[in-house]
Amino acid sequence: MAETPPRYWTPEFIERVVAALNTDVDFAKTARSFTDIIILRCFDTPDGQDVEVAYTFEAGRVMDVKVWMDDAPCMEMRNEPFDKNQAMARATAPYTIWTKLDQGQMSVMQALTSPDYTIEGPKLKILANIGVFNGMNAVAAGVEKTY
């Protein structure tokens, strides 16, 4: 019997995304000089969770991942100030927006202009690295999952 793919935004899914990011040839080319931390936050998953994932990149490879999960709404997570000294960027959206991004119903650029998606950090640096964000989205979209 075939293994059921993990649900989007679960620890099992995140593990698969990290493995895919570190083995995807196109992403490796795009992110080869990227060394920084990107934090992605998803609120109100179908499992009733808020999830924060901090990806630490060195020369385009994910070297560390920190996952914080808590029952939604996790006010501590939602109210945590963004520390630009700890990460380059932090993107936050509800599960519905992340799902649209993952399924190709919304582009990263469309998400950036959506009132339901927030990104914190130096805008020029984020735009200069938009290929990394697009690449992460493309790799994650290719990981088998359920919603």
**Inside any domain, residue 45:** yes
What is the average pLDDT across 100-119? Answer: 90
**Inside any domain, residue 4:** no
Confidence band, pLDDT 50/70/90 cuts, at residue 80: very high
Residue 27's closest CA among 52, 72, 56, 62? Answer: 62
CATH number reported for the structural domain that contains residue 47 in this entry: 3.30.1050.10
As a whole number, the mean pLDDT across the chain is 95
**Inside any domain, residue 126:** yes
Does residue 107 surpass a pLDDT of 80?
Answer: yes
Question: Is residue 96 within a helix (H) or strand (E), and if so which, with residue range?
Answer: helix 95-102
Query: pLDDT tens digit string along 45-64?
Result: 999 999 999 999 999 999 99
Note if the bond before 122 is cis, omega within 30 degrees.
no
The position carrying tokens 């901090």 is: 54
Neighbours of 78 (CB within 10 A): 14
Residue 114 Ramachandran class (φ > 0 left, ψ -120 to 50 alpha, else beta): beta
Query: pLDDT tens digit string along 16-34?
Result: 999 999 999 999 999 999 9
Domain span holding position 106:
11-141
Q: How many structural domains comprise the chain?
A: 1
**Inside any domain, residue 57:** yes
Residues 6+ apart with CB under 8 A from 101: 93, 107, 108, 111, 137, 141
**Inside any domain, residue 58:** yes
- pLDDT at res. 2: 66
**Inside any domain, residue 6:** no
Measured between alpha carbons, how far is 29 from 115 in angstroms, rounded to an integer?
A: 31
